[in-house]
Chains A and B, each alone.
Chain A
Amino acid sequence: MFWALVRRDLKLATRIGGGGAMGLVFFLSLVTVMPFALGPDLNLLSRIGAAILWVAAMLATLLGLDRIFQAEEEDGSLDLLLMSPLPLPLIVLAKGLAHWLATGLPLVLAAPLLGLLLALEPVVLGAVTLTLLVGTPALTFLGVVGAALTAGLRRGGLILPILVMPLMVPVLIFGVAASNAVLEATTPFAPPLMLLMAASLFALVAGVIAGAASLRHAAG
């Protein structure tokens, strides 16, 4: 049941109009225009490249997040999901996982290529990719709570970033801190990375429980 839901959501994300590629295209365009806006100063680019990648990843994750549960609510699928024997927290987990696989993972895979555009050194490229890999689940599952809260709202798309963005800021800070630690070598790399992992694990558990609780209300 769990994997049936994950598979179906991935299928929906990759079909036309599914929005799976939207985050990736947004990420791509944001990072590619950045060098044009900042000018050809390679030192500047490589100094702030990690931060650009992280901000872009955060915004790309927010894109389409509001549709996770709203689309289910609108066409009535949410009612049937609630009547499924699969416990509600696992439904939230499956949908969050599918969203991460369709949106978060492509960002992680694209990050090393785009990092080249930002003149990042190979070791920094590796660090940013690693931090994105362990950090993007935190972004997704914090967003899942907001998506569940706004599932019943017709115009919830605007309120979601406002709700979720403050919660994502610590993840952003640790992600960039870990990446910059590799670049400057004045601060250690491991502590922010571990905090990032902790944030992901916490968001996974808390997001699934909080998301399930808010969906119960959305259905009523």
Chain B
Amino acid sequence: MRLFADSLACRRSSRVVFDSLTFEAGAGEALAIVGPNGAGKSTLLRVIAGLLPVLAGRVGLDPAPEDTPLAELCHYVGHRDALKSALTPIEQLTFWQAMLGGTALPPDEALAVVGLTHASALPSGYLSAGQRRRLAFARLLVSHRPVWLLDEPQSALDAASRDRLAGLMADHLARGGIILAATHDPLGIPARILELGGRS
């Protein structure tokens, strides 16, 4: 399986963010999307996740799975953590596991992997920024989806958590997954670089 983009273009309110963008990532491969602020890194991830319309070109998986849109095969971790302050980490993970489908790890095991077992019954509002981030990554583990779209995954993480994240990503790649990460820092895993230019 490989993820491909073929002369992809996207426009946000009259400004063309990028056009004729072509790349591909095979199974077990990570792509680090780099570029200055405003180059369209986040936009690219949101286009692949189906959250923004494609202006021109194509993006998809090859071979294309039948009757499953690309968005339903992708995990997306954006700048916002998609966490509800009133729910406990276990409740959030249980909910997203049911909602996203493709059951993988049970929620308590996923929490153990990201090192949040001690906080599993605490309302998420009490978690620190880094802990919320780790909880967002635990969501990647509770339901299985082959493509991970990570938008600046390392923000708010300390060194130990970055190592742990690198371990998660390496495991995902080893199982034949695909990772696209918009980042300013090295990911800690072997990754091909996709550079987006910051043109006018």
Contact = CB atoms under 8 A, between A and B. Distances in A.
Contacts of B50: 82-83
Interface string B51-88: 11100000000000000100110101011111111110
B71 A16 contact: no
Interface stretch (A4-12, A31-39, A115-123, A159-167): A4-12
Contacts of A75: 80-84
Interface centre among B53, B84, B98, B99 (most CB of A within 10 A): B99
A76 B51 CA distance: 11
A83 B79 contact: no
Contacts of A7: 95
A199 to B, nearest CB: 31
A88 B126 CA distance: 31
Nearest to A13: B86
A4 B98 CA distance: 6
Nearest to B52: A220
B5 interface: no
Interface residues of B, number: 29
B91 interface: yes
A76 B45 CA distance: 14
A21 B139 CA distance: 30
Given A4-B95, A5-B99, A8-B87, A83 B49 contact: yes
A16 to B, nearest CB: 7
Contacts of A77: 82, 84
Contacts of A59: none
Given A1-B98, A18-B86, A220-B53, A83 B80 contact: no
B87 to A, nearest CB: 7
A84 B79 contact: no
A18 B100 CA distance: 23
Interface in A71-90: 74-77, 79-86
Contacts of B79: 76
Contacts of A85: 68, 72, 100-101
A17 interface: yes
A153 B23 CA distance: 35
B86 A80 contact: no
Contact of A12 (B46, B82, B84, B100): B84
A7 B91 CA distance: 11
Given A11-B87, A12-B87, A220-B53, A83 B74 contact: yes
A220 B74 CA distance: 17
A194 interface: no
A130 B82 CA distance: 39
A212 B8 CA distance: 26
Contact of A16 (B68, B82, B86): B86
Nearest to B98: A4
Nearest to A79: B51
Interface string A137-164: 0000000000000000000000000000
B4 interface: no
Interface centre among A74, A75, A77 (most CB of B within 10 A): A77
10 shortest A-B CB distances, which residue pairs? A76-B80, A4-B98, A15-B86, A76-B82, A77-B82, A8-B95, A83-B71, A84-B99, A219-B51, A80-B82
7 contacts: A7-B95, A15-B87, A83-B50, A83-B51, A83-B71, A83-B74, A84-B100
Interface of A: 1, 4-5, 7-8, 11-12, 15-18, 74-77, 79-86, 219-220
